[in-house]
Structure 1
């Protein structure tokens, strides 16, 4: 019984780390300034299913000045179509297309 339970736990943990590709419209902004994530400095983040994740693969200034008053991620939350996977509490982005 212990072996079966151990095997079940390992399978659950493994399946959590191998999620399918995510393709959806989501909020994108500065993780620290807008989503209240803890880190040093400003970093791009996405909110999926009411949980924010830092983004790997794209930088906060890849879409313009992060501190621009009207469009900067440190000042506004924008919408975009995102594709990628969640791995170790980060969103590994393969594509981000802002919706303006």
Structure 2
């Protein structure tokens, strides 16, 4: 009986942890201003993964400073970031975003 319970718990854990969340370096910017996305009004944070842009859920475009700053704002420049999350329903569900230094 203990073996069956242990196997059941193991299978449940494996199935729950299979959310395909990935950590990777991606381009990050304003979806409308820099990635030509048009399914939302106004400026919204987006990432480009494998040449496809996705709006980001979990973070706001102004969470990283003024989006319209001439040198660092996402509506003005495309930056690089280490992003963690998963693509679901054509959106990037982010759990972590770490901007990389600009060169």
Same fold (TM over 0.5): yes
Gaps of 5+ in 2: 1-17
Shift of 1:22: 1.6
Equivalent residue for 2:65? Answer: 64
Contact 1:19–1:86 (CA under 8 A) maintained in structure 2: no
1:7-47 CA-to-partner distances (Å, cap 9, x unmatched) read xxxxxxxxxxx751121000000000000000210000000
Runs of 4+ in 1 over 4 A off after TM superposition: none
Shift of 1:54: 0.1
Equivalent residue for 1:47? Answer: 48
Gaps of 5+ in 1: 1-17
For residues 86 and 58 of structure 1, what CA distance do their matches in structure 2 show? 14
Alignment of 1:1-100 (within 5 A): 20-38=20-38, 39-100=40-101
| RMSD of aligned Cα (Å) | 1.0
1:55-95 CA-to-partner distances (Å, cap 9, x unmatched) read 00000000000000000000000000000011100000000
For residues 54 and 90 of structure 1, what CA distance do their matches in structure 2 show? 5
For residues 48 and 19 of structure 1, what CA distance do their matches in structure 2 show? 17
